[in-house]
Each structure stands twice: as C-alpha cells, then as structure tokens.
Amino acid sequence: MTKDGAAPIRIMLVDDHPIVRIGLAALIGSLPGMATVAQAGCGREAIELYREHSPDVTLMDLRLPDLSGVEVIRTIRATSPEARFIVLTTYEGDEDIHQALQAGARGYIIKGLPHNLLADAIKRVHAGGRYLPQVVKETLANRTPSSDLSVREREILQRIAQGKSNREIATELDLAEITVKVRVSAILLRLDVNDRTQAVVAALQRGLLHL
C-alpha cells in the first residue's frame, strides 16, 4: 500500500537484457506508488507471466529472442483486451511505432529519453490514457500511409536485404520471376527510392526491416 492507502501500480518488465530489467526494477522501486511484480526475458515467458500476475501496466521491449514485442502485445490482448502496455525500446522507426500502437500499446518511449517520462507514462496509461512523447508524435505524423507494404512485399524486401536476386526470391517464394520484378518495382515506389540498396536503408530506418 502507498502512504495514502492506495494499492501500488503493479508493473511487469519485458526485456531480453537482464541488466536493463535490473535497472528498470530499481527505478520503479524508487518511485512512490509503483511496484515490479514480474520480469520476463522473452515473449513466451511474458505471456505466461502476464496470465499469472495480471499486471496493471507492462513495459515491453520490441526486440525479443523468440516473439516480437508486437506479437506479444497482440497475443495477450486477444484474451485480455484490458491489458495496458507501454513500449520501451531503441526502435525509432515510424513503422515500429505504428505497428505497436495498432497492436494495442498505449504508450511508446524510446530508451535514452529522460527517466521522468517513464513515471509519467506509467501513471497516465494506468489511468486509462495514452502517452506519446513529442519526438514519437512527430515521427508518427511524418508516416505516409501509402508506403504500407503487404505481407508478400515484406517477404521480398527481407530477401532483398539478404542480397538475393529476383530469380532466387522467385524460387524461394514459389513465384514467377516477372511477378517478383513487378513487386520490387512497387516496393521502390512505395518507399520513394531508386534502387534496392536505398530500399533496404529506408526500410531499416523506418522499422520495416530489422537485421
């Protein structure tokens, strides 16, 4: 209980780096009215621990060794739509932010921002609000909806990043080579770039690809 008799905000931490989790737990422990109730180092563990502890707010990294943070958020919210998530990550791309919010995250904080933002975010999300720092709002505002890629285009883009030719991509995905060529042209157009290398660079910057 807090000094005023209210129950503390119960928080789960999800990050694959133990040192990061230790640091976050120490920070939360120093904040009045908050307590860490569970820590997970991978997506599947996070899903299990959520079901066990039902935390009020979950701090979720996007990069995990098994599932992505977005997949974890979707999985948990499929059975617990009231679950509240704040993404805490190094990923700054507009697509990363968009996908996390689409999955149901209520806050998005980039690691390295002042720690007082985290306390504000937890309180606001716990109260039912959303929390997006100005830098995140600006990144999201600059996102171009017409640049969305289909699942197939993302599969092709991933293979372009691996240095594969149209013929190799066609063989892997069981497509006609001309179909791959047309899809590659569409990818370049959507990302507003001139060649395959620029497409990979743009995709990495936006969070469409992670190597």
Please tell me if the domain spanning 9-140 has the same topology as the one spanning 145-206: no
Domains of the chain, by residue range, sit at 9-140, 145-206
For residue range 136-149, list pLDDT tens digits in order. Answer: 999 888 777 666 78
Burial class (CB in 10 A: 0-12, 13-18, 19+), 76: buried
CA distance 177 to 53: 50
DSSP type of residue 50: H
Give the pLDDT confidence score for residue 20 in this predicted structure: 94
Strands 57-60 and 9-14: parallel
- For the whole model, what pTM was predicted? 0.77
Tell me the two tokens of residue 135: 């830098």
Tokens 């933002």 identify what position? 117
**How wide is the angle at C-alpha 146 spanned by C-alphas 210 and 70, nearest 5°?**
35
Q: Which pLDDT does position 147 carry in this prediction? A: 66
Q: Taking the chain, what is the end-to-end CA distance rounded to the nearest angstrom? A: 44
Around Cβ 82, how many Cβ atoms within 10 Å? Answer: 8
Residue-level pLDDT at 5: 65
| Residue 60 DSSP code | E
Domain 145-206 has CATH 1.10.10.10: yes
What fold does the segment set 9-140 form as a domain? Rossmann fold (3.40.50)
Q: What is the pLDDT of residue 3?
A: 59
Nearest residue to 10 (alpha-carbon basis) of 69, 25, 42: 25
Could you report the average pLDDT of every consecutive run of 10 residues in the chain (211 residues)? 74 96 94 95 97 97 94 96 96 89 95 86 96 91 74 90 93 91 88 89 85 71
